[in-house]
Structure 1
Amino acid sequence: MVAVRTCVACRQRAERAELLRVVLRGGRLMVDERAVLPGRGAWVHPTRRCLELAVSRGSFARALRASGKPDASPLENRLKTLMDN
């Protein structure tokens, strides 16, 4: 059986391998490469569109139950690296 998750931005369901798990560490959004870090995680497609949609709608803060607006710059930098390769 294949694990299925829902993207917090576009709400499309996809296999876990197609999405990035994002966690909150010290008020910053970080990519959990191996999906093993403790705590709540939010899943998002590794695309600029989904990332921008999730940040603008506050989807990460809601999914991760964070108060305030988390810093998305580490996540944006990591996504840019992934897209450049």
Structure 2
Amino acid sequence: MSGRTPTRACPERTCVGCRERAAKSDLLRIVRKEDDCVPDPRGTLPGRGAYVHPVLVCIDTAVRRRAFPRALRAEGPLDTAALRRYVEQAQP
């Protein structure tokens, strides 16, 4: 043995907005509820999730690229108003 203590692997996810990989803890999980994109900061809501940096730039990019419906396997466009409100309130 090398004397090193084992380190735990940090799970990574890809932001659907900017497509950069980041630690899961640095991203905001989004789930689909009806026809809305709902933020899931605790990561406990049921259903398929997508991850995005909690900044408006990445959210706007994801909306422009139609990434949320594709990642969440939705038929049509999804309403991101609740998601935008959540991120705007969380930013200083």
Following superposition of structure 1 onto structure 2, how do residues 1-85 of structure 1 map, counting pairs within 5 Å?
1-84=9-92
Q: What code does the residue aligned with 2:59 have?
A: L
Q: What code does the residue aligned with 1:43 have?
A: Y
**Residue segments in structure 2 that go unaligned for 5+ positions in a row:** 1-8
CA RMSD of aligned residues (A): 0.7
Q: What code does the residue aligned with 2:46 have?
A: P
C-alpha distance in structure 1 between counterparts of 2:11 and 2:44, whole Å? 15
C-alpha distance in structure 2 between counterparts of 1:47 and 1:33, whole Å? 14
Q: Which residue of 1 aligns with 2:4?
A: none
TM-score (norm 1): 0.95
Paired residue total: 84
Give, in angstroms, the shift of residue 26 of structure 1. Answer: 1.5
C-alpha distance in structure 2 between counterparts of 1:38 and 1:48, whole Å? 24
TM-score (norm 2): 0.88
